[in-house]
Amino acid sequence: MSSAGPSASCLGAAPRSAAQARIVIAALALFAENGVGGTSLQMIADAIGVTKAAVYHQFKTKEEIVVAAVEVELARLVPALDAAEAEAGPRALDVLLTQVIDLAVARRRMVSTLEYDPVVVRLLAEHEPFQQFMQRLFRVLIGPDVGAAARVRAAMISTAIGGAVTHPLVADLDDEALRSQLVRFTRQFLDITG
Amino acid sequence: MSSAGPSASCLGAAPRSAAQARIVIAALALFAENGVGGTSLQMIADAIGVTKAAVYHQFKTKEEIVVAAVEVELARLVPALDAAEAEAGPRALDVLLTQVIDLAVARRRMVSTLEYDPVVVRLLAEHEPFQQFMQRLFRVLIGPDVGAAARVRAAMISTAIGGAVTHPLVADLDDEALRSQLVRFTRQFLDITG
DNA sequence: GTCTATATAACGATAGAC
DNA sequence: GTCTATCGTTATATAGAC
C-alpha cells in the first residue's frame, strides 16, 4: 500500500540527528566555497566548533558526508517533481521549471557544487538512487523524445538555470529579480506560453 | 605603435618552454577529472613521468600552474573575440558565439574546470588580467545594456553553452552533432536569424 | 632539466577515555 | 556525543647533487 508514500522519491533523505544535520549544513557551505576536494574534515569540524573525531562519530568517511549533503539538497526537488508528474501534458514542464528556478535561486550558493563539482558529478553517476532520481527529472524535462535535439535542449536549459544563479554577472540581483528574469527567459527558450 | 599588436588581448599567454607546456597540458586534464582542489602536484608529476621536484623547478607554486592553465585555455578565445570586435553591429554576437561554441565543443572536458571550479572562479575574480578579459567578452555578449534582463540572459547563455558540452545527457554525441544543435538553440534563444 | 632526499604540515581515519 | 592522542599517508615546498 503506502510503503513508499505517494512520491516514490528514490531518495532516502531520512531525517537525521541534530549532530548530523549540523555537519551536513556546514559541509555544504564549505563545498560551495572550496569545492569538495578542497574541503577537509578539519575545516568542517572547525566550522561547527568540534573536533574531527566528533565528525567521524557521525559519518564513517568523508564520502558519506558528501552523499548525505547531496541527498539533502536533491530532496528539496522532490515536491516539485511530484507536482510536475501529477500534472500531465505540457503544463507539467512549466510546473517543474518554475519550482526548480525558485529553489535554484534560493539555494544559489549550493547549486554549482551539486551540478558541476567533479566529485559530486562522479557520485551522481555511480550512486544508483541518484541516477534514478535524475532520470525521473529528465523524463519530465525531455518527455518521450530521446533525440539529439531534445537532449541538447534539456542539457542547455538545466545548466543555464544552474549556472545563471551562480554567475558573477547577476550576483548583485536580489532573489525576486533574478527569479522573474529566469522564468521569463526559460519560458521563451522552451516556447512555453505560460 | 604596435607594442600590443592588433588584439590587445589582456592575456599574457606567453609561449612557454616545452617542459612548462607539458605540465600545463597534464594539469588541465587532471583538473577536469578531479577538480583543482583534488589534484596534487604528485599526480601531475606522475602523469608526465617526472618527480615533483622537476615540476617545482618550472612553477614555484601550485597556484602558478593553475594560472598558467587558465591563461592557456582562455587565450584560445582571443581570436574569436578579436573577430567579433572587428565586426560591429548585430553580426558581432553571432561571430563570437559560433566560434565560442566551436571551442567549447572541441575542449569540452576542460570547460567545466574553467567555468565552475571554485578555485578557478576565485582566480578569475581576483586576477586583474582575467577580469579585463572577461569584461571584454561580456561587452560583446551583452552590448551597451547593463540592465538586469541583459545580464541574466548573458549569464544563461554563457553557462548553457559551457554546461551543455559537459552534460552526461549529451556525452554520446559527436562534436559535429553537438555543435550544430548548440548553434541552433543559441541563435533561437538570442533571436539571431543567422 | 631532472633527480634523491628531506622538512614541515595537513590529510583521512581510528582507539580509547569521559 | 565529544574529547585527546595518535597512526599511516599524503600534501606543498625546498636543498643540493648530477
B chain contacts of residue A161, beta-carbon cutoff 8 Å: 156
Question: Phi and psi for B166 in degrees, rounded to 5?
Answer: -105, 0
pLDDT (average), residues A94-116: 96
Residue A46 has pLDDT above 90, yes or no: yes
More confident residue, B14 or B60: B60
Residue type present at position A151: R
Which residues of A are less than 8 Å from B109 in CB distance?
A: none
Burial B75-113 (b: 16+ CB within 10 A, else e): bebbebbbebbeeeeeebbbbbbbbbbebbbebbebbbb
Is B15 a residue whose pLDDT tops 90? Answer: no
B160 touches chain A (CB under 8 A): yes
- Give dist(CA A189, CA B127) in Å, integer: 34
Overall average pLDDT of the A121-142 stretch = 94
Residue B36 CA to C18 C1' — how many Å? 41
B27-53 mean pLDDT: 97
HEC assignment per residue over chain A: CCCCCCCCCCCCCCCCCHHHHHHHHHHHHHHHHHCCCCCCHHHHHHHHCCCHHHHHHHCCCHHHHHHHHHHHHHHCCHHHHHHHHHCCCHHHHHHHHHHHHHHHHHCHHHHHHHHHCHHHHHHHHHCHHHHHHHHHHHHHHHCCCCCHHHHHHHHHHHHHHHHHCCCHHHCCCCHHHHHHHHHHHHHHHHCCCC
Distance CA A152, CA A58 (A): 41
Distance CA A11, CA A71 (A): 7
Mean pLDDT of A133-144: 93
Position B31 scores a pLDDT of 97
List the A26 CA – D7 C1' distance (angstroms).
Answer: 27
- Nucleotide closest to residue B56 (CA–C1'): D13
Q: Is B127 helix (H, G, I), strand (E, B) or coil?
A: coil
C-alpha cell at A167: 554567475
Provide the mean pLDDT of chain B: 92
User: Of chain B residues 1-60, which have a beta carbon within 7 Å of strand D?
Assistant: 39-43, 52-53, 56-57, 60
A47 touches strand D (CB under 7 A): no
- Our measurement of CA A54 to C1' D3, in angstroms, reads 8
Whether B9 shows a pLDDT value over 60: the answer reads: yes
Which pLDDT does position A15 carry in this prediction? 64
For residues B116 and B109, give the distance between their C-alpha atoms in angstroms, rounded to a whole number: 12
Per-residue pLDDT tens digits for B136-161: 999 999 989 999 999 999 999 999 99
pLDDT-derived band at B2, boundaries 50, 70, 90: very low
**C-alpha to C-alpha distance for B189 and B119, rounded to whole angstroms:** 30
Task: Please give the radius of gyration of chain B, using alpha carbons only, rounded to the nearest integer.
Answer: 18
Given pLDDT bands bounded at 50, 70 and 90, which one contains residue B16?
A: confident
B173: nearest CB among A38, A148, A177 = A148
Could you tell me what percent of chain A has a pLDDT over 90? 87
Pick from B111, B113, B120, B83: nearest CA to B178: B111
CB-based contact A188 B185, cutoff 8 Å: no
Q: What is the mean pLDDT of residues A11-32?
A: 91
- The pLDDT of residue A7 is 53
User: What pLDDT score does A9 carry?
Assistant: 63
Separation in Å, CA of A138 to nearest CA in chain B: 9
pLDDT score of A3: 43
Residue A192 has pLDDT above 90, yes or no: no
Which of these, B74, B88, B35, lies nearest to A112 by C-alpha position? B35
- pLDDT value of position B194: 56
Collect all residues with Cβ–Cβ distance below 8 Å to A153 and sequence separation of at least 6.
A142, A190, B181, B185
